Amino acid sequence: MNNENKVTLYFVRHGETQYNVERRMQGFCDSPLTEKGISQAKSLGEGLSDIHFTASYSSDSQRVLDTAKYAIGEKNIPLMIDKRLKEMNFGVLESLLESEIPNLYGNVLETLFSLDVNACAPEGESYAQLFTRTQSAIKEIIEKHASEGGNILIFSHGVTIGNYMIQITNSKEFAVHENCSVSVVSYKNGQPKVEKIADTSFRDRGSVQLNKSSLIN
C-alpha cells in the first residue's frame, strides 16, 4: 500500500522584467526585474507568509532567482536551483520585439502559440520537449518530499508553468499567467490535484498588507 504524504507545489511566475515591459521574447535570454517586479515579488512573499513552506526551487534564470529571494526574504526556506525549471527556449526569436517578428519570420508566433505540442520556434524547443524536462524536475521534487509531505515553492516562468498545467489537465486553453501569479497543485500517491491556476490573490493581498504596514510605520 502506498502511504505517501501530500505534497503541495506552489508554482510562481517571476516578477515583471525589463523585457516584459518592452514586449520582447524572453525564454533562455534574461533581463532584470523592474522596480514593479521587485515590488510584486515582495508582495507575493507577504501574501504567502501564513503558509509554512519546507523548501523552494528555482529556475537558474536570474529574474527568477531574484524573484525567489525577494519573495522568501528573511524566512528560513531552503532554496535550490534546477535549470530544468527554465523557460521555453524560443530559439532565433530570443530577445526580439514581438512587433518585429512577423516581418522577420512570418506567422511563427501564431504557430508557436497554437498549443500544438510539437510547435516550436526555429532552433527552439517544442512544448513536448519543455514538458518532458519540466516533468522530470517536478517528479524528482515530489519524490524527495513525499515521505514528509508539506508545501513547496517552485519559482519558474509563464510558459513553463502554463504548459505544465495544460498537459496535466488536458486543457485546450492556455491561462494567462501574470507576473507573480501562483498555480497550486497537490500530489498524493502520484495523483495530481489542481487547486489554483494563475491566481493573483496572494500577490494582491500581500501588496495591500505591505501598503498598510508602511502607513503605520
What ranges in 29-112 are assigned the alpha helix state H? Answer: 35-47, 62-72, 101-105, 108-112
Give this prediction's pTM.
Answer: 0.95
The answer to whether 100 is a known catalytic residue is: no
The answer to whether 178 is a known catalytic residue is: no
Please classify residue 156 by burial: count the beta carbons closer than 10 Å to its beta carbon, then call 0-12 exposed, 13-18 middle and 19+ buried.
Answer: buried
> Residues 16, 22, 35, 87: which is the catalytic one?
87
Q: Angle at which helices 62-72 and 35-47 pack, to 10 degrees?
A: 40
Specify the DSSP class assigned to residue 73.
T
> Residues 14, 145, 157, 177: which is the catalytic one?
14
Per-residue model confidence as pLDDT tens for the chain (217 residues): 456 799 999 999 999 999 999 999 999 999 999 999 999 999 999 999 999 999 999 999 999 999 999 999 999 999 999 999 999 999 999 999 999 999 999 999 999 988 799 999 999 999 999 999 999 999 999 999 999 999 999 999 999 999 999 999 988 888 899 999 999 999 998 899 999 999 999 999 999 999 887 666 5
